[in-house]
Amino acid sequence: MERQAWQEKVHEIIYEADTPAGKLFDLALIASIIISVIAIMLDSIPSINASHGDLLYKVEWAFTVTFTIEYILRIISIKRSRSYIFSFLGIIDLLSILPTYLGLFVTGQGHYLAIVRLFRVLRIFRILKLAQYLKEASILISALHASKRKIFVFFCTVIVLVTILGSIMYIVESSSNPVFKSIPHSIYWAIVTITTVGYGDMAPITGLGRFIAAIVMLLGYAIIAVPSGIITSELTQAVKNQFNNTTSCPSCAHHSHENDAIHCKVCGEKL
């Protein structure tokens, strides 16, 4: 279905960073995001909340309504709305407004989760046409995407490893050390140790337990190099596919295209 003239105009303003109106809109949007995040942080301070809580509550709702309208306009101004809705930025846009609405039905501090809208300032790389940063960000994302299977296998291997090590530590320590009171608790210790965090809330007291702990610590340092090597390898390959075009597809809103691209590489729409 063909878009109406007003939809094309809205798309140009909201999605395009090359036009004066589009750039002004995006800069205003980023300023609004930063101000709203500052309001959320101030509201979490008890003294400020006690004296200006009502004002900050109204400010938060004003920004939430504004971002909601913007979210709806983003959906209706492109042909393939699903492409935007399920994209990274589309999900972030939705998550940035949901906490405030959920606060109407759920009591507690959940509305502070709206601070995730700070992720939306990532648009600044496209808005200000910082080509070198946009290019590097695109390369990094491409490398992470290409290495996702290897990282998944590595993650599963680590899960199996900490489960086995935690179980062994439980067998060794549980009889004389009340801290290792179950296998899940021991697995927690193995995770903390193998990731080199070392909170110190759980520690072995037997000689064999300390020996195993030393092995786990050394193993943790060795494991750190694995994901680094995977991503570095993919980064080397991703450098060959650099792009810095900020033109947004009118159909799916994808905007990472090669400079000489005529059609969208995702949906095939003419740019």
Both tokens assigned to 70: 């913007």
Q: What is the pLDDT of residue 37?
A: 87
Work out the end-to-end distance of the chain between its first and last CA atoms, rounded to an integer number of angstroms: 17
Q: What is the pLDDT of residue 111?
A: 66
CA separation for the pair 200, 185 (Å, rounded): 13
CA separation for the pair 213, 216 (Å, rounded): 5
Cβ atoms of 186 and 170 within 8 Å: the answer is: yes
CA separation for the pair 101, 26 (Å, rounded): 24
pLDDT tens, position by position, 221-243: 888 877 777 777 766 766 555 54
Collapsing DSSP to helix, strand or coil, 125 comes out as: helix
Q: Domain ranges in the chain? A: 5-128, 148-241
Could you tell me the maximum CA-CA distance found in the chain, to the nearest angstrom?
76
pLDDT tens, position by position, 120-131: 776 665 555 554
Q: What is the pLDDT of residue 55?
A: 92
Q: What is the pLDDT of residue 44?
A: 86
Q: What is the pLDDT of residue 211?
A: 94
Of residues 52, 23, 17, the one with CA closest to residue 38: 52
Q: What is the pLDDT of residue 269?
A: 77
The CATH architecture annotation of domain 148-241 reads Orthogonal Bundle (1.10)
Q: Extract the residue ranges of the chain whose pLDDT is less than 70.
A: 1-3, 17, 108-111, 122-140, 234-235, 237-248, 251, 253-260, 271
Burial class (CB in 10 A: 0-12, 13-18, 19+), 153: exposed
Q: What is the pLDDT of residue 134?
A: 54
Q: What is the pLDDT of residue 15?
A: 80
Q: What is the pLDDT of residue 123?
A: 65
Fold adopted by 5-128: Four Helix Bundle (Hemerythrin (Met), subunit A) (1.20.120)
Whether this model's pTM surpasses 0.75: no
Cβ atoms of 17 and 80 within 8 Å: the answer is: no
Give one word for 16, left, alpha or beta, with left for phi > 0 and alpha for psi -120 to 50: beta
CA separation for the pair 48, 59 (Å, rounded): 14
Using only C-alpha atoms, the chain has a radius of gyration, in whole angstroms, of 25
